[in-house]
């Protein structure tokens, strides 16, 4: 069975003012050949910094005329089953001698002053970890309440001692890489009170959020080259913050303002945020990408991206700008099945469901009858009207298939429209965006829900989600 052994060797590898090159010497007597890698943690990945061949005496040397940026690095041994992790900060000349029979006890590191702090921590955690495991097992095997209570009390006691020890490292060695690591790993605590009322829960949430980043500075790029920062960062934006776009945007601007003082942190955060909201998980969050583009990418503040990457971000942002939640939908100058002009804004309705579909799309053929069924059973009596658009390119000439499907599936009472070749050509000649860009049509069917003023109140939802949203919209308002 493949086993990947990760061993924390906390090494502050120094960069002096005069030395511009690094040298990491590995001594692994159990190996006589093979290729070994010097890697560094970035996000959830190990990125290769350098490689070296292991000689017959078990030695491998990594060296180059450049500095190693601070963070958590790892030497991956031949076979890629064992890795030895270490910290890089200032010193750049280190040696690591390992014994694979006992990585924790027999590994020797030289060239690192703070490795003493690490060894003390390792010895402490080894003892305390065994005690915690014994109490956990004892609790699981307990047959009486008295035994359970005893094991639980011991476990809490040992766990508090461990946390106090970690807090001591942070307090007494605040600028060390060990402190950086401890802060990145630390989970903020909520208020120590019972959650009885909704107000109690809110107070606990606000306290938790306010202390989430305690001990972590976004002006220290050592933090991004650890395996712990990205999960913490992800959790903050995916679970801690409100999913509302306005809340996310406010927090992004606040954090990036601090991160601008450290280009590496700024780059890491902006890259992740752009990727996260390129295709957001919740309706309305596409406004975040538009904001990132308008405030950062379009202002030349992402010079590290290549032309292809910048083009992809620009294209995606422009696809979203005109169809954000709350904006008035772009008018659709279309004609109906009889060739009669039937623009979107001529359709008066309390709610308009705009459906972009294609008669050659298998998923559309499945979904449209379902949409029509619930429309007739529920939506129609609540003032909803259907505006269905043939999304295929006019040159594909699918009018016959389109009208046949409408007739056979009896959706003729919908407003069914399409764009003629002439209309499509005129828009292209005028250099104006077409409806596919205005409505971000990349898949079919794509559905938008508009209110009476044709403002977008729902987009790209499932039929079930649309039904739930409409039920909320037409539900009686509670009396004040």
pLDDT per residue as tens digits for the range 150-179? 999 999 999 999 989 988 988 998 888 888
Please give the pLDDT value at position 295: 96
**% of the chain residues with pLDDT over 90:** 62
192 has pLDDT over 70: no
Report pTM.
0.83
| In contact, 286 and 456? CB cutoff 8 Å | no
459 has pLDDT over 70: yes
Nearest 5°: the CA angle 331, 335, 340 is 125
Please give the pLDDT value at position 43: 84
378 has pLDDT over 70: yes
Nearest 5°: the CA angle 295, 299, 304 is 105
191 has pLDDT over 70: no
| In contact, 417 and 388? CB cutoff 8 Å | yes
What sign does the CA torsion over 230, 202, 189, 207 have? positive
* Distance in angstroms between the alpha carbons of the first and the last residue of the chain: 66
Tokens of 311: 């083009």
Task: Provide mean pLDDT across the span 129-147.
Answer: 90
7 has pLDDT over 80: no
Question: 91 vs 387, which has greater pLDDT?
Answer: 387
| In contact, 456 and 329? CB cutoff 8 Å | yes
Please give the pLDDT value at position 479: 63
- pLDDT band for position 14 (50/70/90)? very low
272 has pLDDT over 90: yes
Q: From the CB of residue 161, how many other CB atoms can be counted at a distance below 10 Å?
A: 14
Cis preceding linkage at 445, omega within 30? yes
412 has pLDDT over 80: yes
Please give the pLDDT value at position 190: 67
**Mean pLDDT value across the chain:** 88
Nearest alpha-carbon partner for 54 in 21, 77, 73, 23? 77
464 has pLDDT over 70: yes
User: How long a stretch of residues is the chain?
Assistant: 480
Task: Provide mean pLDDT across the span 262-290.
Answer: 95
- pLDDT band for position 12 (50/70/90)? very low
Residue whose pair of structure tokens reads 């990145």 in the numeric block: 184
* SS3 at position 181: helix
How many angstroms separate the CA atoms of 286 and 277, rounded? 6
Tokens of 225: 């080259």
In 29-70, which ranges are E strands? 35-42, 45-53, 59-64
Please give the pLDDT value at position 5: 35
101 has pLDDT over 90: no
Q: Which alpha helices (H) appear in 327-434, and where do they start and end?
A: 362-374, 399-408, 421-429
């Amino acid at each position: 069975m493949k086993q990947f052994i990760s061993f924390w060797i906390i090494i502050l590898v120094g960069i002096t003012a005069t030395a511009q090159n690094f040298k990491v010497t590995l001594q692994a007597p159990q190996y006589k050949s093979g290729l070994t890698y010097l890697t560094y943690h970035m996000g959830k990945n190990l990125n290769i910094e350098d490689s070296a061949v292991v000689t017959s005496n078990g030695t491998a040397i990594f060296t180059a005329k450049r500095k190693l940026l601070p963070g958590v690095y790892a030497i991956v041994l031949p076979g890629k089953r064992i890795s030895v992790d270490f910290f890089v900060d200032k010193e750049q000349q280190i040696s690591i001698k390992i014994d694979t029979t006992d990585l924790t006890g027999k590994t020797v590191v030289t060239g690192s002053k703070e490795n003493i702090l690490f060894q003390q921590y390792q010895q402490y955690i080894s003892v305390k970890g065994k005690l915690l495991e014994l109490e956990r097992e004892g609790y699981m095997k307990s047959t009486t309440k008295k035994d359970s209570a005893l094991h639980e009390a011991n476990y809490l006691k040992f766990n508090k001692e461990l946390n106090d020890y970690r807090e001591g490292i942070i307090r007494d060695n605040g600028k060390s890489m060990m402190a950086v690591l401890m802060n990145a790993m630390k989970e903020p605590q909520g208020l120590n009170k019972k959650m009885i009322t909704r107000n109690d829960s809110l107070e606990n949430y606000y306290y938790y959020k306010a202390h989430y980043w305690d001990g972590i500075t976004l002006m220290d790029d050592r933090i991004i080259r650890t395996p712990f920062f990205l999960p913490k960062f992800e959790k903050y934006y995916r679970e801690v913050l409100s999913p509302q776009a306005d809340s996310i945007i406010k927090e992004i601007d606040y954090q990036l303002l601090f991160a601008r003082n450290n280009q590496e942190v700024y780059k890491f955060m902006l890259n992740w945020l752009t990727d996260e909201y390129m295709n957001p998980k919740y309706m309305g969050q596409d406004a975040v990408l538009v904001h990132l583009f308008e405030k950062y990418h379009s202002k030349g503040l992402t010079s590290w991206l290549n032309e292809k990457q910048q083009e992809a971000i620009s294209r995606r942002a422009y696809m979203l700008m005109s169809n954000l939640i709350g904006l008035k939908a772009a008018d659709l100058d279309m004609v109906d099945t009889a060739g009669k002009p039937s623009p979107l804004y001529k359709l008066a309705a309390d709610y308009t469901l705009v459906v972009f579909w294609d008669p050659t799309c298998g998923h559309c053929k499945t979904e449209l009858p379902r949409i029509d069924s619930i429309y007739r059973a529920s939506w129609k009596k609540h003032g909803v009207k259907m505006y269905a658009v043939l999304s295929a390119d006019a040159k594909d000439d699918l009018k016959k298939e389109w009208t046949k499907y409408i007739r056979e599936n009896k959706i003729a009472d919908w407003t069914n429209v399409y764009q003629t070749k002439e209309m499509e050509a005129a828009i292209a000649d005028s250099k104006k965006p077409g409806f596919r860009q205005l409505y971000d049509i990349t898949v079919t069917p794509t559905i938008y829900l508009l209110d009476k003023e044709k403002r977008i109140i729902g987009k790209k939802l499932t039929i079930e989600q649309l039904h739930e949203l409409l039920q909320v919209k037409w539900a009686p308002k509670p009396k004040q």
